[in-house]
Every structure is written in structure tokens, then in C-alpha cells.
Structure 1
Amino acid sequence: MSKEEMFKELSDAIISCKKDVVIAAVNKAKGQGIAPAEIIEKGLAAGMNEVGVMFERGKLFLPHVMMAAGA
């Protein structure tokens, strides 16, 4: 799996708002040798940005944003 695919998987995991999915994706990325800073910046933060956009558009509500942030 390429880095870009891994970052997409991390982002999707955050958007899912499921902590166990996020943890599994992070562990998978770490296992592939991706640096923690890249995991956060290009995967998790990108997912949170998308959650913010979805919230602004009314597609997600505050509880979803809080669950995503908690994950």
C-alpha cells in the first residue's frame, strides 16, 4: 500500500468517528514505517479537516465532530 493510500485510510478512519478503526489504521501506518509526524499531519489532521468541512455544510453534527476528535 502506498503512502497516499495509507493517508487516505487514516483520514477515512477519522471521518468514521470510530476510535478502534483509527487505532488500527495508525498501527498499520506505523508498521509500514511511516513517521508519526506524517501520520498526524497527512492522515489524521486531513481527516479532521474534512470533518470540519462536513460540519460546516450540515452533514455532520457536533456529537460526530466530538467523536472524531476523541478518536
Structure 2
Amino acid sequence: MTDDDHTTHAALAAELTDSIKRLRLDVESRSDPILEEIAHALELTLELTTHAHGHSLDNRERLRALESGG
């Protein structure tokens, strides 16, 4: 993963976070249980992908250390 990839992923995560916030506002105004479930599912998806991305970065650093003999 390059630094450009990391920047792109961060931008996409920020965009998704903003979208979830807007959806939450819409949910509050409508009291729609289906929209609530969608918002919750998106929040979980963002949390899981952010967690996986963190592991990916950690693994990249470990691999670099192994490749450099550290």
C-alpha cells in the first residue's frame, strides 16, 4: 500500500463518516427504523474496515522490518 493509497482510504473514510452523519440526521427527522438499521450497518462497516486497515498498516510495518533484517 502506498502513501497515496492511505490518503485515498482516509478521504473515503471521511466521506463515509459525513454521509453517515447526514443519514443519522434524516433518521432523527423521520423516526424510520429501516433507515436506523442502514445507518447502524454503515457505522459497523466503517468500524470494521477501519480496523482491518489498521491491521494492514501494522502488517506492512512488520514485513518491512523483516525484509530489512530487523
TM-score normalised to the size of structure 1? 0.40
Q: Which has the higher helix share?
A: 2
Report the TM-score when normalising by structure 2.
0.41
